[in-house]
Structure 1
Amino acid sequence: MYTVYGIPNCNTVKKALDWLNLHGIQYEFHDYKKKGITADKLGSWAAQTGWEALVNKKGTTWRQLDAAAQAEVTGEKAAIALMQEKTSVIKRPLIEKNNKVVALGFEEDAYQKAFQKG
């Protein structure tokens, strides 16, 4: 079973969920706003993707941080602390299966490849 991590009102998450539903892929949804996220889980993802990939620097949450707060995010530890405090800064959706990151964000071509094996 896949787990989709994100927030329900995010347009990119909506596109990804629509795609998964259209292709009959079963998943559980983990809402960051309601359930939060552990430092251990973020650390596991960072080990797989690199912490830089997890921080959405194009999003509103990042852009609303002042320059000093942005400048503090220079390594994995600081990035994880920020992502726990402001879950909306995590690139989304993140999809995992058996603790392995399957997809980050939504690109239809990447989803075709990632989910064709089931």
Structure 2
Amino acid sequence: MSLVLYGLNKCSTCIKARAWLDSHGVTHSFVDYRDHPIAPALLRDWAAQLGGWEKLVNRASMTWRNLPESARSPDSDDAWLALIAAHPALVRRPVAVDGAGKVGVGFREASYSARFLAA
């Protein structure tokens, strides 16, 4: 399985997810999306797989809460993409993309076990 984990190097949840993967022998690579911004087409695909932008963007984050009210109502894919480009920390972390292109967000040991250790 070629697993790619996307997130931020200093994100505590990303650190936990990476440590879990390492401790369970799950080979993966990591992309810090501040250093390597995610292509718009890939972000669109992630949002579509997850069921919408609201599932991809962390609207409970400090980054979201610190946005002006007018920025919290994107009305198109392009508006969401512009918002993420300006504030990459809005994307839920980590984003796990497996070899088949299936996307998942966040980290919970139970869901990682089911997804990455099931044979």
Deviations 1:76-113 (A, max 9, x none): 33222211221110001000013221x21011111111
- Equivalences for residues 54-69 of structure 1 within 5 A: 54-69=56-71
Name the Cα RMSD after superposition: 1.4
Residue 3 of structure 1 pairs with residue 37 of structure 2: no
Task: Report how far residue 51 of structure 1 moved.
Answer: 1.5
Q: 1:58 & 1:34 partners in 2: Cα distance?
A: 23
Give the whole-Å Cα distance in 2 for the aligned partners of 1:52 and 1:75. 12
CA contact (8 A) 1:55 1:79 kept: no
Matched, 1:30 2:21: no
Partner residue in 1 for 2:108: 107
Task: Normalising by structure 2, report the TM-score.
Answer: 0.89
Name structure 2 gaps, 5 residues minimum: none
Q: Answer whether contact 1:46 1:76 (CA < 8 A) is retained.
A: no
Percent same amino acid at aligned positions?
36
Q: Tell me the distance in 2 between the aligned counterparts of 1:39 and 1:75.
A: 13
Give the letter aligned to residue 116 of structure 2. F
| Preserved contact between residue 39 and residue 81 of structure 1 (Cα < 8 Å) | no
The answer to whether the 8 A contact 1:91-1:104 is kept is: yes
User: Which runs of 5 or more structure 1 residues have no equivalent in the other structure?
Assistant: none
TM-score by length of 1: 0.90
Shift of 1:75: 4.1
Residue 22 of structure 2 corresponds to 21
Q: Quote the offset at 1:59 in angstroms.
A: 1.2
